[in-house]
Amino acid sequence: MIAVHTVEEIRAAEKALMAQLPAGALMQRAVAGLVTVCARLLDGVYGARVVVLAGAGSNGGDALWAAARLARRGAHAQAFLLAPEKAHAEGLAAFRAAGGRLVEPAGAADALAEADLVLDGILGIGGRGGLRGDAALLAGLLRAGRTAGAVVAVDLPSGVDPDTGETPGAHVIADHTVTFGTGKAALVVDPAAAAAGVLHPVDIGLEPYLPEPRLTVLDDADVAVLLPDPGRESDKYSRGVVGVLAGSGQFPGAAVLAVGGALHGGAGMVRYAGPESVATEVRARWPEAIAGLSPDAVGRVQAWTVGSGLGDGRGDDVHAALGAGLPVLVDADGLRWLPERFTGPAVLTPHAGELARLLGVERAEVEARRLHHARQAAQRWNAVVLLKGSTTVVAAPDGRVRVNPTGTSALASAGTGDVLAGLAGSLLAGGLSPFDAGSVGAYLHGLAGRRAAASSGYPSAGDALAELPGVVRSLRGVVGGG
Ligand SMILES: NC(=O)C1=CN([C@@H]2O[C@H](COP(=O)(O)OP(=O)(O)OC[C@H]3O[C@@H](n4cnc5c(N)ncnc54)[C@H](O)[C@@H]3O)[C@@H](O)[C@H]2O)[C@@H](O)CC1
Ligand SMILES: Nc1ncnc2c1ncn2[C@@H]1O[C@H](COP(=O)(O)OP(=O)(O)O)[C@@H](O)[C@H]1O
Ligand SMILES: [K+]
């Protein structure tokens, strides 16, 4: 699991830890990690051309110290100081003592063009708002590919907002980010995360001083533990029955895909509710599913997945499913029938356009501020909100968030959302909490998309669905029931 903390939490932890250490020791831990990564990225440190972009704060200090150490190992180090009179004094002294040279503004472009490695130490967790002035110009040169070197961001790409993943203005786009102590939202939530490149976490001993993270990124081991595990005495009912209210004459495929997702999420049975013409298609593809015309007719379930491809009608059926007092997952067209607030367990799975409509804002605004809007909707409807897209964010009404790390744009194709709705609904029926069902569902779905892309290039929703059993098998290992 990657833990993500806020700037406020990091500052408090750093303060507590620094009180136990000699002055400057914490920065030296960060610098040691940074130098290790840089040395690995360079094809030999001796003779390498390293350019530092150093701002006024400790982030610039880290970069100057690191360049000093690389210079002592034979690198040719140059630094561009964005605020020369406020540059980190010890870092600058070390840099100069190691033979590092300062670059005048007029020489910055040439230095970047010849660099093997560029250290972005303009702003770290103290950064607010986008880059301005020379900093914005330099970031523009890097973006335009005016350096042949690897761009390594110190702690986070300068100019992105640390706590929100927003990009309020000009910012650096890095190839690598060496980050200290703990994760930051900017490193895992788009659009900022897209600027971070490959992440290299460096342990500086902060963990004992940090609180329980409110924002996390699950990994394989976390998800394996959360997956429902049929016990020896399980039967198809005790494993959970999931009802799927999806599809329509216009979108029958949504029902087929959602039922397919539901069949692979661990529930013991899938009951499909919908018109006979759609039910016929569902049965033809999935003989193991049971079908009925409406939520009432279909029989008892432990959770409902509602909405994928429903089209305009069937408001009564949606109300019946949402009013049954059971855990519910609401997707796509079902989102038009939300109650004022949920009183029971609920997961909403909008994409950015759907969430924008729900909140009465522009789609671009949701995409620019994913964490903010997912959290806002989770509180507004008292439901877990799984906001789909380039970073899928799962927000709980209590403020906890999980960011899905497995997503892939290979999943950006029609019908994949239907698979996810069925899958996560099945996990809900299997007894997972809405927060777990949403985040585990997104994780498995992303892995299935990646596998499908690996074997078919441009996978369809059906290709991703076909990979789900293999994904679940590899995560569960050989555990088998009972
Ligand atoms: N506190 C510590 O002991 C440690 C700090 N570390 C480093 O220190 C960094 C934080 O250092 P600071 O708190 O000095 O903060 P920063 O280095 O992020 O910079 C803060 C400075 O930039 C200015 N500033 C903020 N936004 C700006 C903008 N948009 N344009 C121009 N100037 C802007 C601020 O007024 C302030 O002078 C971390 O990211 C990390 O790199 C590491 O060395 C680990 C240890
Ligand atoms: N750029 C992207 N990167 C990663 N995942 C994406 C991207 N765009 C879409 N997705 C994923 O693809 C799926 C699409 O779902 P959705 O928009 O509901 O499509 P549909 O309704 O056609 O099934 C979601 O899981 C979403 O997270
Ligand atoms: K930086």
What pLDDT score was predicted for residue 479? 53
What pLDDT score was predicted for residue 44? 94
Reported confidence tier of residue 481, pLDDT bands at 50, 70, 90: very low
- Domains held by the chain: number: 2
User: Given the CA of residue 254, which atom of ligand 2 is nearest to it?
Assistant: 23
User: Given the CA of residue 404, which atom of ligand 2 is nearest to it?
Assistant: 27
Query: CATH number, domain at 143?
Result: 3.40.50.10260
User: Given the CA of residue 411, which atom of ligand 2 is nearest to it?
Assistant: 12
Q: How far apart are CA 134 and CA 104, in angstroms?
A: 12
What pLDDT score was predicted for residue 378? 98
Query: In the predicted model, is pLDDT for residue 227 greater than 50?
Result: yes
In a domain, 37, yes or no: yes
The upper half-sphere exposure of residue 5, i.e. CA atoms within 13 Å in the direction of its Cβ, equals 20
- Shared domain check, 319 and 208: no
Nearest C-alpha neighbor of 384 from the set 333, 415, 427: 427
pLDDT tens, 317-331?
999 999 999 999 999
In a domain, 482, yes or no: no
Segment (H or E) for 25: helix 25-41
* Residue 178 beta carbon below 6 angstroms from any ligand 1 atom: no
* Residue 62 beta carbon below 6 angstroms from any ligand 1 atom: yes
Query: In the predicted model, is pLDDT for residue 243 greater than 90?
Result: yes
Reported confidence tier of residue 237, pLDDT bands at 50, 70, 90: confident
- Shared domain check, 203 and 115: yes
Choose the final residue of a domain: 188, 216, 244.
216
DSSP SS3 for 455: helix
Choose the final residue of a domain: 179, 201, 216.
216
Give the residue carrying structure tokens 């590919």: 145
- Shared domain check, 212 and 261: no
- Shared domain check, 301 and 156: no
Ligand nearest to the CA of 34: 1
Beta bridge partners of 346: 328
What pLDDT score was predicted for residue 402? 98
- Shared domain check, 149 and 289: no
Our mutation pick for probing the ligand 2 site, out of 348, 367, 390, 419, counting the most ligand atoms within 8 A of Cβ, is 390
Query: CATH number, domain at 452?
Result: 3.40.1190.20
- Shared domain check, 309 and 245: yes
pLDDT tens, 167-207?
999 999 999 999 999 999 999 999 999 999 999 999 999 99
CA–centroid distance, residue 402 to ligand 3 (Å): 24
Q: What angle is formed at CA 301 by the lines to CA 378 and CA 422, rounded to 5 degrees?
A: 55
Tell me what percent of the residues of the chain surpass a pLDDT of 70: 99
CA–centroid distance, residue 56 to ligand 1 (Å): 7
Give the residue carrying structure tokens 């702003």: 123
For 368, phi then psi, to 5°, come to: -75, -25
**Parent domain of 164:** 2-216
* Residue 391 beta carbon below 6 angstroms from any ligand 2 atom: no
Choose the final residue of a domain: 216, 241, 275.
216
Q: How far apart are CA 102 and CA 115, in angstroms?
A: 14
- Shared domain check, 267 and 186: no
What pLDDT score was predicted for residue 482? 47
Measured in whole angstroms, the distance separating CA 259 from the mean position of its chain's CA atoms is: 26
Single-letter amino acid, residue 388: K
What pLDDT score was predicted for residue 442? 98
Cβ–Cβ < 8 Å for 193, 442: no
pLDDT tens, 305-358?
999 999 988 999 999 999 999 999 999 999 999 999 999 999 999 999 999 999
- Shared domain check, 315 and 167: no
- Shared domain check, 429 and 392: yes
pLDDT tens, 112-157?
999 999 999 999 999 999 999 999 999 999 999 888 899 999 999 9
- Shared domain check, 442 and 360: yes
pLDDT tens, 421-457?
999 999 999 999 999 999 999 999 999 999 999 998 8
> For ligand 1, atom 19, which residue shows the shortest CA distance?
57
In a domain, 481, yes or no: no
What's the N-to-C CA distance of the chain in angstroms? Answer: 28
pLDDT tens, 47-105?
999 999 999 999 999 999 999 999 999 999 999 999 999 999 999 999 999 999 999 98
Ligand nearest to the CA of 58: 1
In a domain, 402, yes or no: yes
Our mutation pick for probing the ligand 1 site, out of 28, 123, 154, 160, counting the most ligand atoms within 8 A of Cβ, is 123
List, as residue ranges, the binding site for AMP. 388-392, 417
CA–centroid distance, residue 126 to ligand 1 (Å): 4
- Shared domain check, 242 and 124: no
- Shared domain check, 300 and 440: yes
List the structure tokens of 360: 């009465």
What pLDDT score was predicted for residue 312? 87
Is pTM beyond 0.90 here? Answer: yes
What pLDDT score was predicted for residue 255? 98
- CB-proximal residues (5 Å) to ion ligand 3: 59, 120, 153-154, 158
What pLDDT score was predicted for residue 269? 96
